[in-house]
Structure 1
Amino acid sequence: MLYKDNRKELSQGYKTTTNNRMELTAVIKALEAIKKNSIKVTIYSDSKYVVESVEKGWIWNWEKKNFKKKQNIDLWKQFIPLYKKFNIKFIWVKGHAGIKENERCDELANLAQSSNLINDTGYKV
């Protein structure tokens, strides 16, 4: 996370989960770490799942239908109130393309995979 001249890095590894759950969890954890409400937030992500779900408005249709037959309902239900607290813009970036901050996020994710793994309690097979 970057804010003015400040940097905060967050990471956590999980047992038994999916890449989409981890991408969405990363966004949720970042938003939870922001102390000020109603600020502009730009989220750069290489996850088309997360970016398009929000930017194309899919989550609002899913919410209207009570997330029927959708995955990661628990996470989307955590995300929505956080989304409403801020003025958020998502920007998709190509993964593994040498984008400095995206590469750093990948490094953190890889490090997290090998230490202190916790259960992803919302994951359903």
Structure 2
Amino acid sequence: MGNFDVFIYTDGAARGNPGPGGYGIVMEWVGKPYKKEFSQGYHHTTNNRMELLAVIEALRKLKKNNLNIKIFTDSKYVVDAITKGWVFNWQRTNFKGKKNEDLWKDFLALYPKHHLSFQWIKGHNNHPQNERCDQLAVEASKKPKLLVDDGFEKS
């Protein structure tokens, strides 16, 4: 697995896509019994936005820089955009014609602060942390008080 400090598991959900959505995060400090969970729901958003926002919010929670982090997600959109370098091309073309520019810019601001490795995992495949993230995301999307996804609703 390499020498990782933190494992981050993320998932996003949107009912209706677009519709009410949410993200779920499970963070584990490698080699320690330390685990944290986070989630948040949004009034009107998309699945891809929630998948990406989960990664961003997880990175924002870290109090130290220069960590070796492995991020597990079932989002091909997120993994491919980063590991295949698409997002860096989008950045060079000022995100012309690309969706979720606001979130990708947020991600790119956080990206250099750590050593990130991404691993795609098949969703709904009995992976315990991914299943938990999915549960957190769906529950968050059903809460009575949901946040406004400004980046989506203003686009």
TM bucket normalised to smaller: over 0.9
Structure 1 stretches of 4+ moved >3 Å? none
CA RMSD in angstroms comes to 0.9
SS at match of 1:13: strand
1:49 to 2:77 alignment: yes
Distance in structure 2 (CA, Å) of the matches to 1:16 and 1:34: 27
TM-score by length of 2: 0.79
Following superposition, the deviation at residue 97 of structure 1 comes to 0.3
Measured in 2, the distance between the counterparts of 1:30 and 1:72 equals: 18
* Runs of 5+ unmatched residues, structure 2: 1-26
Relative contact order higher in (CA < 8 Å, ≥ 6 apart): 1
Identity of aligned residues (%): 52
Could you say which residue in structure 1 is the equivalent of 2:48? 20
Shift of 1:54: 0.3
Point out where structure 1 has 5 or more consecutive residues left out of the alignment. none
CA-to-aligned-CA distance 1:79-106 (integer Å, 9 cap, x gap): 0011110000000000000001000000
Say whether 1:78 aligns with 2:110.
Answer: no
Match of 2:58 among 23, 27, 30: 30
| Partner SS state of residue 89, structure 1 | strand
2:146 corresponds in structure 1 to 117
Scaled by the length of structure 1, the TM-score of the pair is 0.97
Aligned residues: 125
Larger helix proportion of the pair: 1
Instruction: Encode CA deviations 1:14-40: one digit per residue, 9 max, x unaligned.
Output: 011000000000000000001110110
Q: Which residue of 1 aligns with 2:122?
A: 94
Relative to its length, the structure with more strand (as a share) is: 2
Amino acid corresponding to residue 46 of structure 2 in structure 1: T
